[in-house]
Amino acid sequence: MVKLITELGKKPTDVARDIGVTPTTIRRWVTEYSLHGEDAFPGKGNLRPLDAEQKRLEKEIRDLK
């Protein structure tokens, strides 16, 4: 959906209407994509690689204490 806006130049309001979400949601997705690229949407139940590493390190710190 984000690439419809970033690559094809569609308006967020048009994309939002087509898929049944708010334009605000679409704009948030575009922002996330511009910040994190393909890692912005890792899939249901998954973390972005940097978030996963941070979580792993925090667990390691807790375990060491």
Q: 1-58, pLDDT tens digit by residue? A: 788 888 888 999 999 999 999 999 999 999 988 888 877 777 677 777 777 788 889 9
29's tokens: 């997705």
- The amino acid at residue 62 is R
Domain parsing of the chain, residue ranges? 1-64
pLDDT of residue 24: 94
* Better-predicted residue by pLDDT, 65 or 41: 65
Q: What per-residue confidence (pLDDT) applies to 27?
A: 92
The pTM for the full model equals 0.61
Helix, strand, coil in percent for the chain, rounding step 5 = 70, 0, 30
Give the per-residue pLDDT at 62.
93
pLDDT for the residue numbered 53:
85
Q: Please tell me the distance from the alpha carbon of residue 26 to that of residue 11, in angstroms, as a whole number.
A: 10
